[in-house]
Structure 1
Amino acid sequence: MSRTDAARGPAGVRETAGARESTDALGTAGVRATARVHARRDGRGGTALPVLDGEGPLAPRRTRSVGTEARVTLVGAMSGPLGGDRLTVEADVGEGARLRVGSAAATIALPGQTKDEARYVVRLTVADGGELYWLPEQLIAARGSDLYVTTRADLAAGARLVLREEQVLGRAGEEPGRLTSRLTVRIAGRCVLDQELSCGPGAPGGWDGPAVLAGHRAVGQAVVVRPEFAQSPPSARTAGEGAAVLPLAGPAVLVTAVAPDALRLRRLLDEALAGLDGD
């Protein structure tokens, strides 16, 4: 469904597949939409999803469970995010529940009818004994787009997490859009990671220089939180050309990587994550 398929509502407001696209006094337009996924133990050794809903371009769908793990795929019901959009995804995992979230395809940030920045907010919460795998496909910043992504994970002391983020600057053969990404991880109320990277036109000077991306167009990070890391953390090391593993001040590890393309980036992150199982 394209943005032009949305039905007209009251003046200045457009209903878009359950989301609301509003126009303020300055003429700024954009979709406001939220998707929510709540995972809870079902009492039979598995994981139930008492809350699974989405609006507009955010359409979570349950897929086949594996063992005690519930699985959800985010399906793009519309194009976006576009300039001016405000999209939010929330995942909450209760005690003892296990949830894996992926996406059906890459997310492509595109320019909108206005030059306003788009915002994409991800909020993750995992209780004691809960486990979350957050593994979406790549986020692509197309030419002319301007997107600010905020991901925040709040975990209890006994929670487990595997979170992967991958950003690609521009589609094949085009200049990148502007992309700013902030990732924050808190464990038992303590901040163990708070980092931000801004790339593309208008970003701080030197973002593409040798000290940052060094001409690469794909950048990613993965955070792994396991209670056992508190006693036996993996060692800091490089993980192939362009990737590094860094223990954090808590039961967590950060993997970062840069690569010339999305395929190489995924390979670097997968190899580094697989190496953690051997530590």
Structure 2
Amino acid sequence: MTTAGVRATARIEATADGRGGTSLPVLDGEGPLALRRVRGSGPEARVMLVGAMSGPLGGDHLAVEARVGPGARLRVGSAAATIALPGQAKGEARYAVRLHVADGGELCWLPEQLISAGGSELTVSSCVDLSGGARLVLREEQVLGRVGEDPGRLTSRLTVRHDGRALLDQELACGPGAPGGWDGPAVLAGHRALGQLIVVRPEFEKDAPVARPIGEYAALTPLAGPAVLVTALAPDALRLRRVLDEALGELT
């Protein structure tokens, strides 16, 4: 930790153990990013990301990296919501997620919500690289402000590549200082919880679900590749999770 904030990286590496299961030769957390292996089922290894400190705070630069090898199966969750807070150090906080899944590997990335508290400024970048027949379930949920609170500034970018080709590359900025219209009818329409779910399956290359609405403020969209994207808005985190869980159940 410095006067400019905390610098920390957590690293996970999952490999097939040769006995039908998954081992974790690398499970290394730093500072506020603690990693714990929890009991899984069958060939899947499960890891929980535990926040050992408040944050990210202003000036913090945090990163989580995960690599899944051929034949390995990894599920990553978090013990609680992540809350972006102003902190004492000036400047924005940065949170980077870097995921790599090899051909034949499978990753389920299912953290709890990210809450943008009033006065905070956070940039989140998530980059996923998939090879060949890799499988992925990735969920992002963002809540703008705590109860009765205006949100902080939140910028979020998600990039997913398959064999070097972009499946998805999108960015959204919300809160004070964001480009005008972010809360208007064409973007959030006054909602304070937004989320997305991307599911990559080799079988979607030939047999992808058809595009359709899911309820009033959610939609399922097949992408140009073996992937499906679900985007959703909701008035609160609980209702957002219900919509995404329903979509995930249909897709998997």
What amino acid is the match of 2:76? V
Q: How does 1:65-104 map to 2 (within 5 A)?
A: 65-104=40-79
CA offset at residue 273 of structure 1? Answer: 1.7
Equivalent position of 1:12 in the other structure: none
CA offset at residue 275 of structure 1? Answer: 2.2
Of 175, 180, 205 in structure 2, the residue corresponding to residue 205 of structure 1 is 180
CA deviations 1:84-135 (Å, max 9, x no partner) are 0000000100000000000000000000213300000000000010000000
CA distance in 1, matches of 2:21, 2:2: 40
2:181 paired with 1:181: no
Tell me the SS of whatever aligns to 1:206.
Answer: coil
CA deviations 1:18-58 (Å, max 9, x no partner) are xxx224xxxxx110000000000111110000000110110
CA distance in 2, matches of 1:68, 1:215: 43
Tell me the SS of whatever aligns to 2:109.
Answer: strand
CA offset at residue 159 of structure 1? Answer: 0.1
CA deviations 1:221-259 (Å, max 9, x no partner) are 011000000011110000112110001110001100000
CA distance in 2, matches of 1:232, 1:221: 21
Of 142, 145, 156 in structure 2, the residue corresponding to residue 170 of structure 1 is 145
Equivalent position of 2:189 in the other structure: 214
Equivalent position of 1:236 in the other structure: 211
What amino acid is the match of 2:58? G
Alpha carbons 1:222, 1:255 under 8 Å: kept: yes
Equivalent position of 1:22 in the other structure: 2
Of 226, 249, 255 in structure 1, the residue corresponding to residue 201 of structure 2 is 226
Tell me the SS of whatever aligns to 1:65.
Answer: coil
Q: Runs (4+) of structure 1 moved beyond 4 Å? A: none
Equivalent position of 1:16 in the other structure: none
Of 91, 108, 118 in structure 2, the residue corresponding to residue 116 of structure 1 is 91
TM-score by length of 2: 0.99
2:100 paired with 1:125: yes
CA distance in 1, matches of 2:90, 2:216: 37
Tell me the SS of whatever aligns to 2:24.
Answer: strand
Tell me the SS of whatever aligns to 1:66.
Answer: coil
CA distance in 1, matches of 2:76, 2:250: 22
CA offset at residue 274 of structure 1? Answer: 1.8
CA distance in 1, matches of 2:70, 2:172: 33
Larger RCO, structure (CA 8 Å, separation 6 or more): 2
Alpha carbons 1:239, 1:271 under 8 Å: kept: no
Q: How does 1:41-80 map to 2 (within 5 A)?
A: 41-80=16-55
Equivalent position of 1:7 in the other structure: none
Q: For structure 2, which runs of at least 5 residues remain unmatched after alignment? A: none
Q: Percent identity?
A: 77
CA distance in 1, matches of 2:132, 2:225: 10
TM-score by length of 1: 0.89
